[in-house]
């Protein structure tokens, strides 16, 4: 890992999570090191932390459910949080939300299966945030096509080894990234893998 006051570069191991404050103008790059690995991303406006990423607002203001370069992620109060400035994959998800133990119990009949929500709860706790504060996520590299009839499904990611997305902070924010631990559906192509995280100064 390399780091200085405003820059950082490290590997986020499978099924782990990290949170970092970003100043407006800083950039966050998420790299799929081996291919077909999803990162769930949430964000909160600093310093108050009460306004947060809001997918429905983001979809309405961008007019799409498929996000790539030029699109902006918005808060519940319609404040711009992050803008996608680079994207070598072009397929991400804003509809699925994050996996969690409760939905995996309903979907797959398993008990206590850790998901991104549980990761987020632990990671944002030092900022005084709780499970009730966790918003729906932007799911980097997750591939959830919507059919002409409205059908929706989870399929393997389109991302290949080395693909990346770069988001520029449009406000001072707290961002959390969960390296998705989902291994019960095609979300991560059946294998949990590391991600590269780079934070750069404005």
**How high is the pLDDT of residue 6?**
76
Q: Quick check: 194 and 23 in contact, CB under 8 A?
A: no
pTM of the predicted model, to two decimals? 0.96
Mean pLDDT in each 10-residue stretch from start to end of the chain (202 residues)? 75 98 98 98 98 98 98 98 98 98 97 97 98 98 96 98 98 98 98 98 87
Residue whose structure tokens are 């990346």: 164
**How high is the pLDDT of residue 202?**
82
Picking from 133, 141, 173, the residue whose alpha carbon sits closest to that of residue 28 is 173
Domain limits, the chain: 2-200
| Residues 6+ away with beta carbon under 8 Å from 148 | none
CB atoms within 10 A of CB 143: 22
Could you give the maximum distance between any two Cα atoms of the chain, in Å? 50
The three-class DSSP label of residue 66 is: coil
């Amino acid at each position: 890992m390399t780091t200085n006051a405003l820059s950082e570069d490290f590997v986020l191991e499978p099924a782990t999570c990290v949170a970092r404050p970003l100043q407006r103008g800083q950039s966050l790059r998420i790299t799929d090191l081996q291919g077909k690995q999803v990162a769930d991303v949430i964000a909160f406006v600093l310093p108050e932390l009460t306004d947060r990423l809001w997918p429905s607002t983001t979809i309405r203001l961008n007019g799409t459910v498929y996000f790539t370069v030029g699109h902006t992620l918005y808060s519940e109060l319609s404040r711009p949080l992050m803008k996608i400035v680079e994207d070598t994959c072009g397929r991400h998800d804003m509809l699925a939300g994050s996996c969690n133990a409760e939905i995996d119990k309903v979907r797959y009949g398993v008990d206590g299966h850790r998901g991104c929500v549980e990761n987020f709860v632990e990671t944002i706790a030092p900022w005084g945030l709780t499970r009730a504060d966790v918003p729906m996520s932007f799911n980097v590299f997750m591939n959830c096509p919507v059919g002409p009839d409205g059908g929706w499904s989870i399929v393997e990611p389109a991302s290949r080894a080395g693909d990346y997305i770069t988001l520029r902070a449009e406000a001072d924010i707290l961002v959390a990234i969960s390296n998705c631990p989902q291994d019960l559906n095609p979300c991560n192509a059946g294998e949990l893998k590391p991600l590269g995280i780079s934070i750069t100064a404005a």
